[in-house]
Amino acid sequence: MARGYPEIDLPVGHEPTDNIWEAMFTQRAIRYWQDKPVPRELLEKVVAAGSKAPSGSNTQPWVFVVVDEPDTRAELGAALRGIFEAAEPLQQLISAGEQSEDKTERLMLKGARAFFSHLEKAPAMIIPCLYGLSSPTQDASSLLAGSSIYLAVQNVLLAARALGLGTVMTTVHGMLDADLRRILSLPEEATPCGAASHWLPRRELRAHLPQGLGRYPALERLVDGDLVRISAPRGPVFGLARR
Ligand SMILES: Cc1cc2nc3c(=O)[nH]c(=O)nc-3n(C[C@H](O)[C@H](O)[C@H](O)COP(=O)(O)O)c2cc1C
């Protein structure tokens, strides 16, 4: 029984693994969170894995904004809750699914309610943004643009799974665009492309970080102290939202 979600019989979290097959075959959408911070080194590690993904002309047109501070999470959670509470059709869909005969569907929809109404419980969120997009298109709204970032997002999900962290990919950033930009002080040229929220498995996390994590060059300020860009061997990879 996970803390905060007493009515739901949740599966037990997976152990960390270095086996790529196991990671790929067991990576699932996780919508319940433990009340424990995710160590920054792990967040850095999963974002670094994202930065190893292919991109058009190797332009790496992304910034990953990592949010793990309670106040910022609370603001994002409140913004999503407000949208959810005003969206009657979505609520009806979820209520109907929660009564489904099918256990998988029931769990998914109960999870969706937890997700929409308590996002702030996610100890960390990663918001991948297109940034400096030039290949294969300059149009961030084009389907082609996604090809230069979603492989990186998949790397993030798999790396998190390998480290024993649960994630759920979401496109609710589409409903939250104005709030995200305001709360995270995103620069105009950054285009949010999704979000993944992190969860620690219920078993003890046995992190197995490879050596060399501390090798990142110094932080580089991107915007007004709110967003910090970190340079890595393959170029700028992510920002930490700071308040
Ligand atoms: C583009 C995309 C958008 C998604 N959006 C949401 C979302 O808004 N909320 C959510 O709870 N799950 C979301 N998911 C997760 C899917 O519901 C999930 O991957 C799918 O149900 C399969 O479940 P599994 O990953 O556990 O196998 C999204 C996944 C993708 C790829």
pLDDT in tens, 102-143: 877 887 888 888 889 989 988 888 888 888 899 999 999 999
- What is the token pair recorded at 227? 């967003």
Quote the pLDDT of residue 207: 30
Looking from the CA of 243 toward its CB, the CA atoms found within 13 Å total 13
User: Does the residue 79 lie in any domain?
Assistant: no
User: Does the residue 113 lie in any domain?
Assistant: no
Residue nearest to atom 19 of ligand 1 (CA): 29
Residue nearest to atom 6 of ligand 1 (CA): 170
The answer to whether 237 and 68 are in contact (CB under 8 A) is: no
CATH of the domain at 36: 3.40.109.10
User: Does the residue 199 lie in any domain?
Assistant: yes
Looking from the CA of 133 toward its CB, the CA atoms found within 13 Å total 24
Would you say the CB of residue 112 lies under 6 angstroms from ligand 1? Answer: yes
Quote the pLDDT of residue 211: 30
Would you say the CB of residue 14 lies under 6 angstroms from ligand 1? Answer: no
User: Does the residue 85 lie in any domain?
Assistant: no
Quote the pLDDT of residue 233: 38
Residues of the chain with pLDDT under 70: 1-13, 199-243
Quote the pLDDT of residue 231: 39
Would you say the CB of residue 172 lies under 6 angstroms from ligand 1? Answer: yes
Measured CA to CA, the distance from residue 106 to residue 173 in angstroms comes to 24
Task: Please identify, by atom number, the ligand 1 atom nearest to the C-alpha of residue 28.
Answer: 26
How many CB atoms lie under 10 A from the CB of residue 31?
A: 27
Quote the pLDDT of residue 205: 30
User: Does the residue 91 lie in any domain?
Assistant: no
User: Does the residue 10 lie in any domain?
Assistant: no
Which amino acid makes up residue 59? Answer: T
Quote the pLDDT of residue 105: 82
User: Does the residue 148 lie in any domain?
Assistant: yes
- The whole-model pTM stands at 0.81
Quote the pLDDT of residue 15: 82
- Give start and end residues of each alpha helix (H) in the chain: 20-26, 40-50, 70-86, 88-98, 103-117, 143-146, 150-162, 173-184
User: Does the residue 11 lie in any domain?
Assistant: no
Would you say the CB of residue 30 lies under 6 angstroms from ligand 1? Answer: no
> To test the ligand 1 pocket, which listed residue (108, 168, 180, 197) has its Cβ within 8 A of the most ligand atoms?
168
Question: How many domains is the chain partitioned into structurally?
Answer: 1
| Enclosing H/E stretch for 170 | strand 166-170
Quote the pLDDT of residue 150: 94
Q: Which residue range is the domain that position 155 belongs to? A: 20-69+120-240
Quote the pLDDT of residue 143: 93
Quote the pLDDT of residue 11: 53
